[in-house]
Copies of this chain bind each other. A is one copy, B any other.
């Protein structure tokens, strides 16, 4: 391009990088004019080859179909937008191979920071990228003993959240409480289940495996069939539950639908979700759920990525909040 303005590349570069104090107004004008008429944009690709960082942030989520992940993406996008930074969102379906491919693609595009919202126990598939200096921030995944030291984890206390949900039901008199989830192969789900177990145990309610239907499918893309099977299983028990804790709001809604479809009155049943998706407050009965402080978490991540490397940066755990609504109105005498 520069050539077409009748000046040397370095002159253009100088102007581009605000090193134009000493520049002849006339020259500047000529260059600016040529830029405009050619609608020239400096090639970020060339800049990156020279070592400039790609300012964009990568965000990988398990399933954009689940509105929770959409809200999280929007929240994080908003927080970074306020700092003039953009986000590329990637959908992994929680497939480690897909996750690896996205991380390597972002890496290949020179992106330095990736927020990985996938709570898989092992992060081995990301080793090469991490070794190459890609900074990974894991979201929704509490710190593990075996994690590499450069990994940052940002999460709520999932165990505490599920404990609150379960404790709330117990306080309303429920003692037969099902736990509805897909596969529990992620760290956050394991923690949620642990919170459920602790609440039962603290209240001297024995854990009944029959109330925790198992599945090997995560149900991220579609919780419907899994929740239906689970609900039908527990409703068929001799001593069926009067309440259920779902591993997330989509499971809660799917389970509620299954209860209705089984001909039961949903008002006779208490349901608690997890995540606080927007529709939870629009439906009837409105969904009691556990809320994550997404805004605070997004801002913490903005700060983490702005930090100069080298400083000690601990993993962060945020407190969840129980939001009580109509779906847990009923009290058991």
A71 with B81, Cβ < 8 A, contacts A90-B86, A257-B282 known: no
Chain A, 136-159, contact with B by CB distance < 8 Å: what is the 0/1 string? 000000000000000000000000
- A104–B228 alpha-carbon span in the complex (Å): 45
* Interface hits, A11-46 → B, CB 8 Å: 39, 41, 43-46
Say yes or no: is A118 at the interface (Cβ < 8 Å to chain B): no
Say yes or no: is A274 at the interface (Cβ < 8 Å to chain B): no
- Residue A67 contacts which of B41, B65, B266 (CB distance < 8 angstroms)? B65
- A49–B110 alpha-carbon span in the complex (Å): 13
Interface size, A (range): 35 or more
Say yes or no: is A128 at the interface (Cβ < 8 Å to chain B): yes
The list of the 5 closest CB pairs from A to B, nearest first, reads A44-B108, A89-B89, A39-B128, A88-B88, A64-B70
Known: A45-B49, A257-B281. 13 other contacts (CB 8 A): A45-B48, A56-B105, A56-B109, A63-B74, A64-B89, A65-B67, A89-B90, A224-B282, A253-B282, A253-B283, A257-B282, A279-B279, A283-B283
A→B interface (CB under 8 Å): 39, 41, 43-46, 48-49, 54, 56, 63-67, 69-71, 73-74, 77, 81, 86-91, 98, 101-102, 104-105, 107-110, 127-128, 131-132, 221-222, 224, 250, 253-254, 256-257, 260, 266, 278-279, 281-284
